[in-house]
């Protein structure tokens, strides 16, 4: 039994090291392309082709007014702009949209309120339906929780002067990153994804993904790749890979920032992250084999493996959270040779890469970046805290093909209550795991296993933060507070 536990623990460390090693490759690309990124030329163009702005929404009464105000304020000729509000709502959002559409039509905007009559295919189904009706050769897509900058279309449309470009992805900014430790941590994680992962993969000509919002598409690229498909919960990632496998490229523009609302509570954050984890592994099951059989470079294939399977990290993190205590106990009681512990200590070199990437992303993005750096520990803690629910999501995504799209609740700065279903047993199990890791922490402190103190501390904080916050919300309901919109990089 002891040998089995030690073997599993070693395999889990190997999995984590495999993905952690990728951070060092990103650091290599960062220093390789740093000068090229500085020298990037603005590709703004005087060309003004017809663009259709697509706004897929579902029950977005708190944010739809804000979104439409930003869209109609785009610095783009009205005669070259079509707006589609693709509304699958079943609440008062539909009435609000209808009033807004009538108002903007009177102000000479070509704006359409599209109702399908069902949610078949969820967001992918809505976009496919609307794309068939779109007049524009280019499609700009925005989720409801974002505010579109005025220069968005002018800044990005010039990228399509290269006929191989199928899509351009802008960077996400954050409206409410100062709201809490949770939102500050999310902001750092997303900054790293866009500044480091998206930006560097784009420079290296690896596959990147459209992030579901804040992007501009050539309609012919979508059609060529087979259109929007609803057989995964990551329809954006799915289409991105199918487009690039067809020979199109997706470009990333980190200088164009579209600010959006971050989930401001544990339940909403878990819903979002579980959907991303489940959808990503579904795309891996669907397309990874095709990508590996394609004629892209070996380095691009490696990136595709990491990109589409990265959530397996959460399974390894959950396993370590459970097994660290018995493995330490074996050491303290001298049941296992010290050689084993010397060998596994090698894996600790993997823990430094991503925190350094997070640091670089903050330094590159904000003038007062040092104020944000302490929250890097929050990124790690919340990732650990998500390991249980994301493991569940991965198992469901791989084995269960039943598609249920759960939207991420948005407040839009509203002080009105909205409720999130908290009937799941997951928050209870997260709390139990948090207490278990807290006990493990006490044990390693007593027995002076110093190297494990930071990890078990973060595990305890992550699990207890997710679990207790969700349990509190389930008992009292959720009352979002006002969104803070001030910026640090101005």
318 contacts: CB under 8 Å, gap ≥ 6: 387, 388, 391
217 contacts: CB under 8 Å, gap ≥ 6: 138, 139, 140, 141, 166, 167, 210
| CA gap 352, 366 in Å, rounded | 22
Residue pair 142/53 in contact by the 8 Å Cβ criterion:
yes
437 contacts: CB under 8 Å, gap ≥ 6: 321, 324, 456, 459, 460, 463
Residue from 87, 88, 143, 177 carrying the catalytic annotation: 88
User: Which residue from 444, 437, 433 is spatially nearest to 468, judged by alpha carbons?
Assistant: 433
How many CA atoms are closer than 13 Å to the CA of 481, on its beta-carbon side?
10
For 73-92, the DSSP string reads T-SS-GGGEEEEEEE---ST
Residue pair 237/311 in contact by the 8 Å Cβ criterion:
no
| CA gap 98, 90 in Å, rounded | 13
For 333-359, the DSSP string reads TT-S-HHHHHHHGGGGGGGSHHHHHHH
Pairing of strands 215-218, 138-141: antiparallel
If you ran DSSP here, which 8-state letter would residue 251 be given? Answer: E
| CA gap 357, 354 in Å, rounded | 5
Residue from 87, 177, 191, 236 carrying the catalytic annotation: 236
SS3 51: strand
| CA gap 89, 481 in Å, rounded | 24
Clarify whether 236 is annotated catalytic: yes
Catalytic annotation, residues = 88, 236
């Amino acid at each position: 039994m002891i040998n089995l536990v030690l073997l599993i623990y070693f395999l889990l460390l190997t999995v984590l090291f495999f993905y952690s090693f990728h951070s060092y490759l990103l650091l290599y690309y960062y220093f390789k392309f740093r000068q090229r990124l500085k020298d990037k030329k603005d590709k703004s163009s005087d060309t003004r082709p017809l663009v259709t702005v697509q706004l897929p929404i579902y029950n977005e009464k708190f944010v739809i007014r804000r979104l439409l105000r930003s869209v109609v304020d785009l610095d783009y000729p009205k005669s070259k702009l079509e707006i589609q509000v693709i509304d699958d709502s079943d609440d008062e959002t539909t009435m609000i949209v209808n009033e807004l559409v009538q108002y903007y039509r009177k102000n000479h905007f070509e704006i359409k309120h599209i109702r399908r009559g069902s949610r078949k295919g969820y967001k992918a189904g809505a976009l496919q339906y609307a794309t068939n009706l779109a007049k524009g050769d280019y499609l700009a897509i925005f989720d409801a929780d974002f505010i579109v900058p005025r220069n968005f279309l002018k800044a990005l449309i010039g990228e399509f002067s290269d006929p191989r470009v199928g899509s351009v992805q802008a960077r996400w900014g954050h409206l409410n990153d100062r709201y809490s430790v949770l939102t500050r941590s999310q902001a750092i994680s997303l900054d790293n994804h866009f500044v480091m992962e998206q930006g560097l993969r784009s420079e290296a000509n690896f596959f990147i993904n459209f992030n579901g919002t804040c992007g501009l598409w050539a309609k012919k690229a979508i059609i060529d790749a087979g259109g929007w498909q609803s057989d995964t919960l990551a329809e954006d990632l799915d289409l991105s890979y199918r487009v690039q496998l067809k020979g199109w490229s997706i470009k990333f523009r980190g200088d164009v920032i579209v600010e959006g609302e971050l989930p401001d509570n544990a339940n909403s954050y878990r819903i979002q992250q579980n959907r991303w984890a489940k959808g990503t592994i579904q795309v891996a099951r669907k397309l990874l084999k095709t990508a590996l059989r394609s004629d892209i470079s070996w380095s691009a294939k490696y990136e595709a493996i990491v990109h589409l399977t990265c959530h397996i990290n959460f399974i390894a993190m959950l396993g370590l959270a459970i097994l660290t205590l018995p493995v330490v106990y074996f050491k303290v009681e001298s049941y296992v040779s010290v050689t084993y512990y010397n060998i596994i200590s090698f894996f600790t070199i993997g823990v430094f890469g991503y925190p350094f990437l997070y640091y670089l992303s903050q330094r590159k993005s904000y003038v007062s970046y040092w104020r944000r750096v302490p929250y890097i520990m929050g990124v790690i803690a919340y990732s650990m805290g998500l390991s249980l629910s994301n493991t569940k999501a991965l198992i469901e995504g791989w084995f269960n093909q039943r598609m249920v799209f759960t939207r991420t609740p948005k407040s839009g700065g509203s002080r009105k209550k909205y409720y999130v279903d908290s009937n799941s047993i997951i928050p209870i199990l997260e709390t139990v795991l948090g207490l278990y890791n807290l006990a493990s922490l006490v044990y390693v402190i007593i027995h002076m296993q110093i190297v494990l103190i930071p990890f078990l501390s973060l595990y305890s904080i992550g699990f207890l933060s997710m679990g207790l916050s969700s349990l509190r919300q389930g008992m009292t309901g959720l009352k979002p507070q006002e969104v803070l919109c001030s910026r640090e990089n101005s």
